[in-house]
Amino acid sequence: MQVDPRGQRFVAAVTSVVLITVLVLGSGALLAAQAAVFAVATLFGLRYAPYGLVFKVLVRPRLAPPRELEDEAPPRFAQGVGLVFALVGTVGYAAGSTWLGIGATALALGAAFLNAAFGFCLGCEMYLLTRRVRVGGRGGTSPLEKY
Protein backbone atom coordinates (compact mmCIF):
# COMPACT_ATOMS: atom_id res chain seq x y z
CA MET A 1 0.00 0.00 0.00
CA GLN A 2 1.13 3.52 -0.75
CA VAL A 3 0.57 6.44 1.65
CA ASP A 4 0.55 10.21 1.43
CA PRO A 5 3.69 11.49 3.22
CA ARG A 6 1.79 14.60 4.30
CA GLY A 7 -0.49 12.32 6.29
CA GLN A 8 2.50 10.92 8.13
CA ARG A 9 3.61 14.41 9.13
CA PHE A 10 0.07 15.20 10.28
CA VAL A 11 -0.01 12.03 12.37
CA ALA A 12 3.38 12.90 13.84
CA ALA A 13 2.12 16.40 14.74
CA VAL A 14 -0.96 15.04 16.51
CA THR A 15 1.18 12.43 18.26
CA SER A 16 3.59 15.18 19.38
CA VAL A 17 0.73 17.13 20.94
CA VAL A 18 -0.53 14.02 22.73
CA LEU A 19 2.95 13.15 24.04
CA ILE A 20 3.57 16.72 25.22
CA THR A 21 0.26 16.50 27.08
CA VAL A 22 1.37 13.20 28.65
CA LEU A 23 4.56 14.85 29.90
CA VAL A 24 2.76 17.93 31.24
CA LEU A 25 0.06 15.93 33.02
CA GLY A 26 2.16 12.88 33.88
CA SER A 27 -0.73 10.80 32.57
CA GLY A 28 0.02 7.13 32.13
CA ALA A 29 -3.59 6.63 31.02
CA LEU A 30 -3.18 9.06 28.12
CA LEU A 31 0.08 7.36 27.18
CA ALA A 32 -1.74 4.01 27.22
CA ALA A 33 -4.33 5.50 24.83
CA GLN A 34 -1.50 6.65 22.54
CA ALA A 35 -0.04 3.14 22.73
CA ALA A 36 -3.40 1.83 21.50
CA VAL A 37 -3.24 4.26 18.57
CA PHE A 38 0.26 3.03 17.72
CA ALA A 39 -0.92 -0.59 18.06
CA VAL A 40 -3.77 -0.14 15.57
CA ALA A 41 -1.42 1.33 12.98
CA THR A 42 1.21 -1.33 13.59
CA LEU A 43 -1.04 -4.37 13.66
CA PHE A 44 -3.74 -3.45 11.15
CA GLY A 45 -2.00 -0.96 8.85
CA LEU A 46 -1.97 2.78 8.40
CA ARG A 47 -5.34 2.84 6.64
CA TYR A 48 -6.95 2.00 10.01
CA ALA A 49 -4.81 4.28 12.16
CA PRO A 50 -7.06 6.74 14.05
CA TYR A 51 -5.05 9.90 13.31
CA GLY A 52 -4.61 8.79 9.71
CA LEU A 53 -8.37 8.49 9.36
CA VAL A 54 -8.73 12.06 10.64
CA PHE A 55 -6.22 13.18 8.01
CA LYS A 56 -7.99 11.22 5.28
CA VAL A 57 -11.45 12.56 6.11
CA LEU A 58 -10.82 16.12 7.28
CA VAL A 59 -7.47 17.30 5.88
CA ARG A 60 -6.58 15.53 2.64
CA PRO A 61 -9.78 16.55 0.77
CA ARG A 62 -8.70 20.18 1.24
CA LEU A 63 -5.23 19.59 -0.24
CA ALA A 64 -4.01 19.14 -3.79
CA PRO A 65 -3.18 15.55 -4.71
CA PRO A 66 0.21 14.48 -3.40
CA ARG A 67 3.15 14.76 -5.79
CA GLU A 68 4.25 11.28 -4.80
CA LEU A 69 3.24 8.48 -2.51
CA GLU A 70 5.52 6.34 -0.37
CA ASP A 71 5.52 2.73 0.73
CA GLU A 72 3.56 2.00 3.90
CA ALA A 73 6.18 -0.33 5.40
CA PRO A 74 8.65 2.24 6.83
CA PRO A 75 6.05 4.44 8.59
CA ARG A 76 4.22 1.34 9.81
CA PHE A 77 7.49 0.11 11.32
CA ALA A 78 7.95 3.56 12.88
CA GLN A 79 4.53 3.22 14.50
CA GLY A 80 5.75 -0.07 15.96
CA VAL A 81 8.79 1.64 17.42
CA GLY A 82 6.49 4.27 18.92
CA LEU A 83 4.37 1.48 20.34
CA VAL A 84 7.37 -0.03 22.13
CA PHE A 85 8.30 3.30 23.72
CA ALA A 86 4.69 4.03 24.66
CA LEU A 87 4.33 0.60 26.28
CA VAL A 88 7.56 1.03 28.24
CA GLY A 89 6.41 4.47 29.37
CA THR A 90 2.97 3.19 30.32
CA VAL A 91 4.52 0.42 32.40
CA GLY A 92 6.80 2.99 34.01
CA TYR A 93 3.94 5.25 35.01
CA ALA A 94 1.82 2.30 36.21
CA ALA A 95 4.67 0.86 38.29
CA GLY A 96 5.38 4.19 39.95
CA SER A 97 8.64 4.59 38.05
CA THR A 98 7.86 8.07 36.82
CA TRP A 99 11.37 8.58 35.47
CA LEU A 100 10.87 5.61 33.12
CA GLY A 101 7.50 6.96 31.98
CA ILE A 102 8.94 10.41 31.35
CA GLY A 103 12.06 9.07 29.62
CA ALA A 104 10.24 6.74 27.25
CA THR A 105 7.64 9.40 26.47
CA ALA A 106 10.34 12.01 25.82
CA LEU A 107 12.14 9.69 23.40
CA ALA A 108 8.91 8.97 21.51
CA LEU A 109 8.18 12.70 21.45
CA GLY A 110 11.61 13.44 20.02
CA ALA A 111 11.04 11.05 17.14
CA ALA A 112 7.49 12.29 16.48
CA PHE A 113 8.61 15.93 16.57
CA LEU A 114 11.43 15.28 14.09
CA ASN A 115 8.88 13.93 11.64
CA ALA A 116 6.27 16.62 12.27
CA ALA A 117 8.63 19.58 12.09
CA PHE A 118 11.29 18.44 9.62
CA GLY A 119 9.83 15.47 7.75
CA PHE A 120 12.57 13.22 9.15
CA CYS A 121 11.09 9.89 10.16
CA LEU A 122 13.55 8.28 12.55
CA GLY A 123 11.61 5.01 12.66
CA CYS A 124 11.51 4.92 8.86
CA GLU A 125 15.28 5.32 8.75
CA MET A 126 15.59 2.48 11.28
CA TYR A 127 13.43 0.34 9.00
CA LEU A 128 15.61 1.06 5.98
CA LEU A 129 18.77 0.33 7.97
CA THR A 130 17.41 -3.02 9.17
CA ARG A 131 16.46 -3.90 5.60
CA ARG A 132 19.99 -3.12 4.39
CA VAL A 133 21.51 -5.19 7.17
CA ARG A 134 19.14 -8.12 6.53
CA VAL A 135 19.84 -8.28 2.81
CA GLY A 136 23.52 -7.52 3.25
CA GLY A 137 23.68 -4.13 1.64
CA ARG A 138 23.64 -3.62 -2.10
CA GLY A 139 25.33 -6.88 -3.01
CA GLY A 140 22.45 -8.98 -1.71
CA THR A 141 24.65 -11.15 0.50
CA SER A 142 25.09 -10.96 4.21
CA PRO A 143 28.19 -9.04 5.33
CA LEU A 144 29.03 -12.06 7.50
CA GLU A 145 29.17 -14.36 4.47
CA LYS A 146 32.41 -12.70 3.39
CA TYR A 147 34.28 -14.24 6.32
The pLDDT of residue 138 is above 70:
no
Is residue 92 pLDDT above 60, yes or no?
A: yes
User: With 0-12 CB in 10 A as exposed, 13-18 as middle and 19+ as buried, what is 91?
Assistant: middle
Query: Where do the structural domains in the chain lie, given as residue ranges?
Result: 2-146
Angle at which helices 73-94 and 5-25 cross, to 10°: 10
Q: How far apart are CA 96 and CA 14, in angstroms?
A: 27
What global pTM score does this model have? 0.89
Residue 145: pLDDT band with limits 50, 70, 90: very low
In this prediction, residues 99-125 reach a mean pLDDT of 98
